[in-house]
A and B are shown apart, each in its own frame.
Chain A
Amino acid sequence: MIDPLAAIIAYLSSQGDLNTEIDNRLASKHKFSMPESDPDRWENPSKALQVRYAPGAQPDLYTGNGNIRLEALCYGPRQEEAAAVYGELMAICDAFQRATAATEAGTALIYWLLPDSSPEFGYDPDVNMDFVRTYLKTSVARTPVA
């Protein structure tokens, strides 16, 4: 079974312009607070994207699709840089068409990836960085297509 969040992270990871912006710092939980000795730790401050489950989606009771809502936190050393990450994320949503993404559970088929709110600036005191928070909605087939 496909994990819809894993499918979205895999899809976003394959988007060149976004990853040029964030240098592949993309996960469901940010890595700014990991020990400095950990090679997976994200440089702080830097631009990054955290995408995780958020409540509020209407489940698809009939087709087995994973209809989920996501919170996207677009991190940046300053508001301007956080907004640049948000801009790349919105460009992906604007251009999105039915797409596939390779996950550990197989190839996922993503039906849509759309913004579900307007952006909000915030500041994360734990990592001393600005962010733009927005919400996305997506629908992903739980059955792998390959």
Chain B
Amino acid sequence: MAETTPYGQIVGVCKIYLAVASTAEPTVNTTPGAAWAEFGATDGEQTIELPGELTFFRDNDHQGPVKAVRPEEDVIVGFTLVNTTHEHLARVLSTISNITTAAGPPAVSRLPLKRGATPTEYALLMKGDFDSPHGQYPGQTYIPRGVFNMSPTMTRAKDARREVECVFTALEDDTQSDANRMGWSTVQTG
């Protein structure tokens, strides 16, 4: 029989939330407060990528490597934004404060396409109602500080919807302890 435990298998997609960088992590079993903008399940697959190649050191006394270090690493979250309201688009392109509105008629919302030289920093939360390997409990991944790092192509077609492939790259948040500066995973255990 397989060794895998039933609850250890985490499936499904999370809800994604954005907030001002360094906004505190919400309690795992509560709905995030008003500081967090909900992006919903976003649709499509969601990914958490942890690149960080090791550099190996060798000497003349051994055939194999004797030491390894990780000179650089990243935490990268990927998801596909399908609900492309101006409020959602503005956040992943730059900032919601870029939106201007006019009462009209016609009432309009205007979103600049230029993203500017300095990306807006956000805190990101991926939250699943049943993302705990300890039972039917919630779990979440929290990144205190990061930026959207992508060159989106928003394709339109007769049989396809407009989507934005989002890539969120963590930045070190020096307000956190060293191990936690690029985010962490929290799951409820009981």
Contacts and interface: CB of A to CB of B under 8 A. Distances in A.
Tell me if chain B binds chain A: yes
Interface of A: 62-65, 97-100, 109, 111-112, 139, 141, 143, 145
Contacts of B135: 145
Contact of B2 (A63, A98, A139, A145): A63
Given A98-B136, A100-B136, A63 B9 contact: yes
Given A111-B9, A111-B12, A145-B7, 9 more contacts: A63-B2, A65-B9, A98-B10, A109-B6, A111-B11, A141-B6, A141-B9, A143-B5, A143-B6
A139 B10 CA distance: 12
Number of chain B interface residues as a range: 10 to 19
A63 B4 CA distance: 6
B130 A98 contact: yes
Contacts of A111: 9, 11-12
B1 interface: yes
A59 to B, nearest CB: 12
A145 B6 contact: yes
B87 interface: no
Contact of A97 (B4, B9, B12): B12
B2 A64 contact: yes
B173 interface: no
A141 B5 CA distance: 9
B38 interface: no
